[in-house]
Amino acid sequence: MTPEERNIAENDLVWDFVDELAAIEAAEARLHAQRVELLARAMSLADTQKARIASTDSAQRDMPLRSIAAQLGVGIRVNDRTIQHQMNDAVQLTTLFPETVAALKRGQISRSHAVVMLDTGACLDDPEVRAAFEKVVLERAQTLTSGRLKAFARQLAEKLHPQSVTERYEEACADRRIYVVEQDDGMAQLVALLPATLAYAIMDRLTQQGKAVRSAANATPSAGESDAAGSGELPIPAASDGASAGAEAEPQVVDRRGLDQVRADLLADMLLTGTPSIDPTLDRRSGGLGAIRAKVQVTVPVTTAAGASDRGALLNGQIPIDADTARRLVGAASGFDRVMTHPITGMVLAVDRYTPAAEQDRFVDARDTHCRFPGCRMPAHRCDHDHTHDYAKGGKTEITNLACLCKRHHTLKGATDWTVTQDANGNLEWTTPAGRTYIDAPAPRVQFVPDSGSAPF
């Protein structure tokens, strides 16, 4: 085969890849349209069940939706809160943008294009205006990536929006919040949804402070520090202790942090140690808000705490953290619970507290680590200790009848036809109102031992 023939053959192969990938994308779009319509029908069923509830109590009227979302969630191993959000989005998409759903069915647009349509156009209340918006955006979606389509759709929606920016800001400001997004390697994102002026002001202040820290570290470099300074490492001069000029100089501490790292460290420092300028609790609690200290739930194997291993430390029973951080937390802790586990299965066997109520609480927290509804990951310290078999119906306050449930799923268990039983090993068997069963076992524990120099298999 000549080089020219080889190039032609390889180009033909790439075209085949393009056609096959386009066919897969179209098939995924059609499947997503089916998923959207199914979730919308599930929401319709929840509304039908809700309409039969005579009570005006909002929590009770919300139970049909929660129950159906929970049944869908455990069936496909997705958190029920996520499913409930998806059901709401499905209803909006099918109701407000029927042509977008039709385009998805035909495979003409992708799921991400549909998300752009909903995110940018749902604010348009007038049906005629919204339909015109949908038509124009769908035409653009045939040729634009979802990223470029979002920029165009956002500008168009802004032009068509019936409310002023001021009115919309007041509504959006009510949604300000802080939440955490888990990342790999013991990291997480702390996300703050704030008014833009506050967000940019915070970023500017952190930037100014970060530059001041770097400037102070590099303020008085000595002759021997030129290489470090030139490489971006910031030497921090040692504090003067009155030693004579002839004394041996102390080694310089080099701050190798970049501006991004300094800003992140400053933010964490101020949030964990600072005191709000406005504190409405000063006359009600000692020390006010500034006296409140952060709490985290950390599990540290004894080999890691002792420095014999660098593995196994977990935050909230599920997020791996580095050994140095774990050891610092253990050293600073005012107290901690010793948990003994089975060397093979990792099942919690006992805790070292004798007082019955406290021992049971600590045992259940150590065993469960999080809410025991299938798919829920709410940390144990934020959960209730629920009697699996209700105490009012003869259930005993014992380890094999206690489990961690978050407020949402504790309420779901008591207010709907969901039922649950527990065996001697702490396994919970949940039964849905439709009669399907799902087993939730206590959190498995991977056992970490000091490295022996050879593979463990």
pLDDT, tens digit (0-9, with 9 covering 90-100), for 394-433: 888 888 899 999 999 999 999 999 999 999 989 999 999 9
Q: How far apart are CA 305 and CA 450, in angstroms?
A: 12
Q: Does the pTM exceed 0.95? A: no
- The residues pairing with 192 across neighbouring beta strands, listed in sequence order, are 178
- Domain assignment of residue 331, yes or no: yes
Please tell me what DSSP assigns to residue 223: G
User: Using 50, 70 and 90 to split pLDDT, how confident is the model at 58?
Assistant: confident
Q: How far apart are CA 376 and CA 16, in angstroms?
A: 43
Tell me what pLDDT residue 224 has: 47
Task: Supply the angle between the helices 98-105 and 3-51 in degrees, to the nearest 10.
Answer: 140
Q: What angle do CA 186, 317, 184 make, to 5 degrees?
A: 20
**Residue span of the structural domain in which 94 resides:** 3-162
Q: Backbone phi, then psi, for 255, in 5-degree steps?
A: -90, 105
Read off the pLDDT of residues 17-40 as tens digits, 9 standing for 90 and up: 999 999 999 999 999 999 999 999
Helix (H, G, I), strand (E, B) or coil at 428: strand
Residue 27 and residue 101 in one domain: yes
Residue 84 and residue 15 in one domain: yes
Read off the pLDDT of residues 289-322 as tens digits, 9 standing for 90 and up: 777 777 777 777 777 777 777 776 777 666 777 8
**What are the Cα distances from residue 239, in Å, to 224, 243, 249, 253, 272?**
17, 11, 11, 10, 27
- Domain assignment of residue 353, yes or no: yes
Contact 116, 84 (CB under 8 A): no
Residue 302 and residue 436 in one domain: no
Residue 326 and residue 430 in one domain: no
Residue 120 and residue 150 in one domain: yes
Contact 96, 118 (CB under 8 A): yes
Read off the pLDDT of residues 62-82 as tens digits, 9 standing for 90 and up: 999 999 999 999 999 999 999
| Mean of per-residue pLDDT scores for the chain | 83
Q: How close are the terminal C-alpha atoms of the chain, in Å?
A: 48
Residue 357 and residue 332 in one domain: no
Contact 296, 316 (CB under 8 A): yes
Contact 80, 74 (CB under 8 A): yes
- The domain total for the chain is 3
Which of the pair, 194 or 454, is modelled with greater confidence?
A: 194
Residue 436 and residue 324 in one domain: no
Lowest mean pLDDT: which of 138-152, 180-194, 258-272, 308-322?
308-322
- Domain assignment of residue 451, yes or no: no
Give the strand pairing for 314-315 and 298-299: antiparallel
Residue 332 and residue 352 in one domain: no
Across 53-57, 67-71, 313-317, 388-392, which has the greatest mean pLDDT?
A: 67-71
Lowest mean pLDDT: which of 69-73, 135-139, 152-156, 294-298?
294-298
For residues 230-254, one letter each, b for 16 or more C-beta atoms within 10 angstroms of the residue's C-beta and e for the rest, the string is eeeebbbbeeeeeeeeeeeeeeeee
Sign of the Cα pseudo-torsion (380, 383, 385, 388, in order) = negative
Q: Please say which residue of 162, 193, 208 terminates a domain.
A: 162
Q: How far apart are CA 102 and CA 88, in angstroms?
A: 19
- Domain assignment of residue 99, yes or no: yes
Q: Please say which residue of 117, 134, 162 terminates a domain.
A: 162
Which pair of structure tokens corresponds to residue 209? Answer: 């402070």
Asked whether the predicted pLDDT for residue 118 surpasses 60, the reply is yes
CA-nearest of 64, 32, 60 to 46 is: 64
- Domain assignment of residue 377, yes or no: yes
Which pair of structure tokens corresponds to residue 264? Answer: 């992140």
Tell me what pLDDT residue 66 has: 96
Contact 341, 445 (CB under 8 A): yes
Residue 433 and residue 321 in one domain: no
Helix (H, G, I), strand (E, B) or coil at 242: coil
Q: How far apart are CA 395 and CA 286, in angstroms?
A: 40
Tally the residues of the chain: 457
Q: Please say which residue of 143, 162, 181 terminates a domain.
A: 162
Which residues are CB-contacts of 456 (< 8 A; sequence separation ≥ 6)? Answer: 449
Q: How far apart are CA 107 and CA 192, in angstroms?
A: 36
Residue 30 and residue 102 in one domain: yes
Contact 308, 330 (CB under 8 A): no
- Domain assignment of residue 169, yes or no: no
Residue 29 and residue 115 in one domain: yes
Residue 7 and residue 73 in one domain: yes
Helix (H, G, I), strand (E, B) or coil at 398: coil
- Domain assignment of residue 8, yes or no: yes
- Domain assignment of residue 231, yes or no: no
